Amino acid sequence: MRHLLNILSWPFRHLPIALSLFIFTSLLLGAGYYFSYANIRQSYRVLRTQEEETQLRMVERLTREVDTVFGNYLTKVHNFTVFTATAMQLTGLEGAYRYYLNQGTLNRYMSVNSEIVAVSIIDGLGRQLVDQQLVDVTAEDFQSYFEQGARSAFQGQHALSSIIRIVGQPAPFVVVTDPVTDNGGTHVASISVVISLGEMLDYLLKLNPTKHNLFLCDDRGYLITHSMSGDSDATADLFPGSDYTFHPLVRNFMTSGGRIHEVISYQRHGNIDHLGTYALCDRLPWLVGAEIPHKDAFASIFSMQRQLKFWVVITFVCSLILTLLMLFGLRLPLLQLLDATHHISERDFEHKIEVNATNEFGRLALTFDEMRVSILSYLIQIQAAARKNKETFMRALQALVNAIDAKDPYTKGHSQRVSRYAGIIAREIGQAQEDLEKTELSALLHDVGKIGIDDKILKKPAPLTAAEYNIMKKHPDKGMAILGTIDELREITDGMHFHHENWDGKGYPQGLKGADIPLQARIVAVADAFDAMTTNRPYQIAMSYDQAVSRLQELAGKRFDPDIVRSLAEAYYAGRLNPK
């Protein structure tokens, strides 16, 4: 016994608690659900067979009812046709017409047969005698069907129209046409009868007290009626005469040639499983279909679960007890540890990790807290070193800028001013803080290439010659050669390298045009020109700020990006530029 207990308890002694619990409960639940599934599958097969037999009997019975009821309608039409033919033989065509008009024969015929709403008689000369029973449905609504039926009747053919839907009428209609033949076999007239299908369809739907949904449609797949609720989204647009070929049963009927029918499973109404079948009427080209959702057809299976209640309850109680014990012992320290790790993931290293446990979670929390303290210490050291390195780097750059400005006394402070203007423009156009700082630094170093230009050219008090100007135009490339090799400065070299490119493509060093010029360079170009215009140079007198803004606006679209010029002007006129 002890040996057996050792074997059975091995997972609990050597595997993690959660895994041991999972294996134990999985075995119990697996066994219970295995027997449940086997029982339910067997029950499902039995119930499905019964359901298939029920549906087949139902649609076959309904098709017989359709044939019987509509057969009665056709018999009434045929009898009236025979009566009319007899009257024409006795009194002649003209006499029969006068008799029908004087005696109100058509109206009496319709009053006796409530399903008939209109009658039309058309003779060989095209004369028509017509009467109707309903006020809101006129014979004119069916005139095209009368004429079409008459053409068939004079060829000796009976005619049955397609389903007709009249706006405002709840029931659909059909038009039945018979030929009127004299003793010599000549077709002398046609009788067309408009039949309302309302009474017949109500009768058929009342024959179905079950949960099955019924529908009728013609052989072209057009709906006649259905028993589904009209309040649902799926049936709100279904009305007599609407195309119903999207329905899986109708589609199966159309593709099978119209005679093969079987019980099939399919999905409808938001992927709800259905079981359905259909049958074709003998006397009419109509399809009768029946369907039921799986959840309704096999609802009795749920009652069978009571047979397995013992196993389900036992496995559920065991898993619940073990789960509650696990949650009680682990949930609180686990949540505390998760909260602490969340603070660490959010870089909140000041938050102390505290877990109310002395087990593995407690020891893990203590280790995490020691790691947090170490990371925080290293982070403080790294941040301090980074600040120091940045300050040293910026001082070195500032020294470089000062050295450049010192070469030309007329441009002293020029780089700092251009950097400030560029920052104002960058903020005006909505650049992010990180990009704004890069733009400012690029503007600060935009003339670093001048350190490689001869002082004679830089300090020349007169306009430069063409040769000297060509040498001066090399300072962007020289600056790129100086700073382009420094990885930390690569993101700020665009403003330095391309700030002399023109919007119209006539600038240097590469002749870039329009939006091909980097945004950083377009900003630095406007800031550089604004400072150059508003400071004294050997070859010019400083403009006023208003004059400089106006001059930039004149050059917008030629030398400068119009949007950047507009941003500088808006900042200036709003008092945000404040040049000094």
Helix 105-112 and helix 17-103: axis angle, to 10°?
150
**What H or E segment, with its residue span, contains residue 551?**
helix 545-555
The two three-digit tokens of residue 147, written as one number: 């004429």
Question: Which position has the higher pLDDT, 249 or 523?
Answer: 523
pLDDT of residue 466 exceeding 90, the answer is: no
Per the CB < 8 A criterion, the answer to whether 80 and 191 are in contact is: yes
What average pLDDT score do residues 468-485 get?
84
Lowest average pLDDT, out of 30-39, 103-112, 238-247, goes to 30-39
Question: Which position has the higher pLDDT, 231 or 9?
Answer: 9
pLDDT of residue 233 exceeding 50, the answer is: no
Return the percentage of the chain with pLDDT > 90, whole number.
Answer: 18
Residue-wise pLDDT for 154-167, tens only, equals 998 999 888 888 88
What average pLDDT score do residues 108-113 get?
84
Question: Which position has the higher pLDDT, 386 or 532?
Answer: 532
As a whole number, the mean pLDDT across the chain is 80
Predicted confidence at residue 554, as pLDDT, reads 93
DSSP codes joined into one string, 224-277: EEE-S-TTSTTTTT--TT-B-TTSHHHHHHHHTTSS----EEEEETTTEEEEEE
Question: Which position has the higher pLDDT, 542 or 12?
Answer: 542
Predicted confidence at residue 355, as pLDDT, reads 64
Question: Which position has the higher pLDDT, 43 or 320?
Answer: 43
Per the CB < 8 A criterion, the answer to whether 282 and 206 are in contact is: no
Residue-wise pLDDT for 369-398, tens only, equals 777 777 777 777 877 776 776 666 667 666
Residue-wise pLDDT for 48-67, tens only, equals 888 888 888 888 888 888 88
Domains belonging to the chain, first-starting first, are 305-383 (no CATH), 407-573 (1.10.3210.10)
Q: How much helix, strand and coil, in percent to the nearest 5, is found in the chain?
A: 60, 15, 30
Q: For residue 204, count CB atoms less than 10 angstroms from its CB and return exposed for 0-12, middle for 13-18, buried for 19 or more.
A: buried
Predicted confidence at residue 328, as pLDDT, reads 62
Residue-wise pLDDT for 417-465, tens only, equals 999 999 999 999 999 999 999 999 888 888 888 878 887 877 777 778 8
Q: Is the dihedral of CA 232, 234, 236, 238 positive or negative?
A: negative
Question: Which position has the higher pLDDT, 206 or 510?
Answer: 510
